């Protein structure tokens, strides 16, 4: 190879190679420091676009999971309240059965009726004052649980219905007639017998409503199980695109560090070659 005093081609080649290797080494060190293979669009534009789409899916699914958990929480409050209503109605059965007995005096029946009235009032209070997240849970409108994966949306609806002593409803698909206890009393044996019939119907209605609530809870729990699996799979896919393969990157760093050292030595050697030209001049 000819030697020139105007252009040091070996030095230029060594400098270019060293610059490329230093850029690669800087990128590798950045990957190690962030743990990410893709840190900008320049690293892998297509991969970044796919990963961003997956991240949008994961974000939507995480919020959907929270929506479902809120819905389950609300229905659990409803079920607990209906459990209290069942306990109250069971006590009312005892009172009405006792008041139906012909041996009870009018004074005794009045006392029984007073407690029955308290039970009816408490049922109405439960319907009016049971809240979840600041809102009454016993409403006639349908509450929709919104679910999304950022690509498609759907809802799971639930209708609890109102609750008071004058309107004890069954499940919406049960076909049971709402029961009105507000006009029942235990002041007479005949009235107590009528009240007992209505109370038993109310217990059936509440059981039907609790069954419907439980079915919706199961549906929501199934939905959250599916969502959890989707989040896991999408997170794994996103990680496979974005995350750095640490053992591989460490190997690259070692290789590039050695190349950087040899590149510096080669550049120094190439720069010293021109000084040999002076020895050729007599």
How confident is the model over 173-178, as a mean pLDDT?
77
Q: Between these two residues, 17 and 208, which has the higher pLDDT value?
A: 208
Nearest to 48 by CA among 235, 236, 243: 243
The phi and psi torsions of 17 (rounded to 5 degrees) equal -60, -40
Tokens at 192, concatenated: 């107590």
Determine the Cα–Cα distance for residues 133 and 62; give it in Å rounded to an integer.
20
Q: How far apart are CA 281 and CA 76, in angstroms?
A: 98
3-state SS, residue 168: strand
Share of the chain above pLDDT 90, in %: 52
Summarised one tens digit per residue, pLDDT across range 94-146 is 999 999 998 989 999 999 999 999 999 999 999 999 999 998 998 888 888 88
pTM to 2 decimal places: 0.76
Write the pLDDT tens digit of every residue in 65-103.
999 999 999 999 999 999 999 999 999 999 999 999 989
Q: How far is CA 121 from CA 45, 73, 166, 201, 205, in A?
A: 66, 26, 10, 18, 18
Residue 100 · residue 113 · CB < 8 Å: no
CA angle 55, 157, 235 (to 5 degrees): 15
Does position 156 have pLDDT exceeding 90, yes or no?
no
Q: Measured on CA atoms in the order 259, 264, 265, 269, is the torsion positive or negative?
A: positive
Residue 239: both structure tokens together: 């990680």
How many residues appear in the chain? 282
Give the whole-number percent of the chain exceeding pLDDT 70. 76
pLDDT tier for residue 26 given thresholds of 50, 70 and 90: confident
Give the C-alpha separation, 117 to 91, whole Å.
Answer: 12
């Amino acid at each position: 190879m000819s030697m020139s005093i105007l252009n040091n081609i070996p030095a230029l080649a060594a400098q270019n190679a060293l610059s490329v290797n230093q850029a690669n080494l800087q990128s590798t060190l950045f990957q190690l420091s962030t743990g990410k293979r893709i840190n900008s669009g320049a690293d892998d534009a297509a991969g970044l676009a796919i990963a961003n789409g997956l991240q949008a899916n994961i974000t939507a699914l995480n919020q959907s999971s929270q929506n479902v958990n809120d819905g389950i929480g609300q229905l659990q409050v409803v079920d607990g309240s209906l459990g209290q209503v069942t306990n109250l109605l069971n006590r009312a059965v005892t009172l009405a059965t006792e008041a139906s007995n012909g041996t009870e005096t009018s004074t005794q029946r009045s006392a029984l009726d007073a407690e029955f009235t308290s039970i009816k009032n408490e049922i109405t209070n439960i319907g009016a004052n049971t809240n979840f997240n600041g809102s009454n849970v016993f409403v006639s409108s349908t509450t929709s649980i919104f679910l999304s994966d950022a690509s498609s949306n759907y809802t799971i609806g639930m209708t609890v219905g109102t609750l008071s002593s004058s309107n004890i409803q069954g499940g919406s698909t049960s076909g049971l007639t709402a029961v009105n206890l507000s006009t029942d009393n235990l002041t007479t044996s005949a009235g107590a017998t009528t009240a007992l019939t209505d109370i038993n119907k109310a217990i059936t209605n509440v059981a039907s409503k609790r069954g419907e609530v439980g079915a919706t809870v199961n549906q929501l729990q199934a939905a959250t199980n599916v969502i959890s699996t989707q989040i896991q799979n999408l997170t794994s896919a996103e990680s496979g695109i974005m995350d750095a393969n640490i053992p591989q990157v460490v190997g690259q760093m070692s290789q590039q560090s050695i190349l950087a050292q040899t590149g510096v030595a080669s550049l120094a050697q190439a720069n010293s070659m021109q000084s040999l030209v002076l020895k050729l001049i007599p």
